[in-house]
Structure 1
């Protein structure tokens, strides 16, 4: 009897134990399910909050973009040479401005003055309030369009070609030191022995203020009126105005053209008396290259070439054309340059357009900007050309 009772008691204990174990498993599963559900809810809420924040950020950026001043940068076409490289450098800077996000910007290239005027008029006609303009005027006829910007209260920065009639209204007038280019060439000639009254031939770019200033810088240095690289011409090397007037010959506008200069130089060398001219100041590297191509080609009589090169002529250009820097590095035209008395290029980099764009950005930021912003130049010779980067 006692055995039956004990057996029954043990069976009951086992049954209770199994039941208790079964209940414990069920409770753990429910708790786990509840925890997962709770975590999913939190994650969903966090994603919702993140999405809301992203939407808000996007809205803020869109609003900021809508309110941001838009900068129009008008340049000559991006084709080749100095003016073409201006557009290339402008696009680099515009990309930087857009990347920073505070302002928006775009480049508009204009193949001629009439088209550039139309572009300015179209910008004004849109009626947008938050706009600014950086412009490289194609020629002086663009003054009328710039005056419209002034009349509408649209801030503008002028680059390279500064038009006197509207210069006082610009946020900034950014240019290389055109007078310095003339002074640099004159100083180079003097350093190589040019004497007062020696014959000088000047190949001019065009009829703009750029050419006028490059002419002035050359003569003002010789007269002792301005410095180059911190120094004036020595008193015993100064020229008189009469010597300036009688000894310097100007080509007239070569339209910044290599081919026009080449043809003009070939014609000049057709007169034997001109082969005695030793000092040639070309107001652009393209013009200097035109002379080198003429000397390397068949358009000049061999006897004229021999007479000319026998006089150890000196040629200067300016701008920073890498092709001419290559000549200075000894990579081309070695036969000709070995017979020259010297060859040099004064800096006038197209990358200066980036300074013009930065001046506009600084002005929009409320910072003070120098209105007459002149960038100094340097003489580049075979001795220091490795320190300079040219443009194509």
Structure 2
């Protein structure tokens, strides 16, 4: 009984073990299948991870490439901005140069127009001066011809006077009573001839320029009585010397006009000088200099001045008629004083050469007042 129970127990145990083995086997197979499945999943995940890593590496490479491209684009953009800035600066410089060139061109054109106008005026003035010089030369030639005739007439009168005086001396020896009568006749004849000579001279002297008339002692006597005295009582040699002196004076004036022609042209063109004006204050008188542009019209003998070139601003020029002038030498640069009936103008040239030119030109325009001038 005991043996049967043990057999039963052992068989039961064997069955339990086998069931456990089967159960364990089933569990092991299930675990193995699960491990295989997990292994497959793991491999799949590893493959996915590897794929993702590859994708990530590719994306990183793309990001680096894009970053490099962006850096290159930024550098190119900075370079373009720098080029644009330099181009803008160059554009501004070129625009400024264009404006300066335009202004220079405008000034050059205005200067050219002004010079053309001045050249035209100078040519016109030269034509007038040449015409006046030709007329003056014709008058001088006529005066010289008439002067030659007058010298011949005076020589003939002198011979007649000598004959009359010699005949009167002979009659004085023979008849003392006839001496006074012949002498009176001898004096009256030269006087009458001298008066007739003076009337012949007058029309020709009137046709000669003022410079010759002023220098001639025949045409500018102090009084009619003094002129008559000179014509009636001076010897014929003195009268002839006077005529020769007048002729030499006229020739000297002609040469002086030729020498002064460049000075006259320069004063016609005009130049910069200083205008001196007196400012009166309570305690002293102050002389102030103002830079002005001066020029002279030779026919009207008018001095003009303005603040700028006459070609640019002619409507604001001031003027004064030139009656006389004087020179003050008490300064480093002499001062020229222009006298007129309306006002007195004092000007100072920029240098001594210009001063000499103005003085030489003014001498041809007016007659200096010697009591006010010290040259």
* TM-score normalised by structure 2 residue count: 0.29
Larger helix proportion, structure 1 or 2? 2
Q: Larger RCO: Structure 1 or Structure 2 (Cα < 8 Å, ≥ 6 residues apart)? A: 1
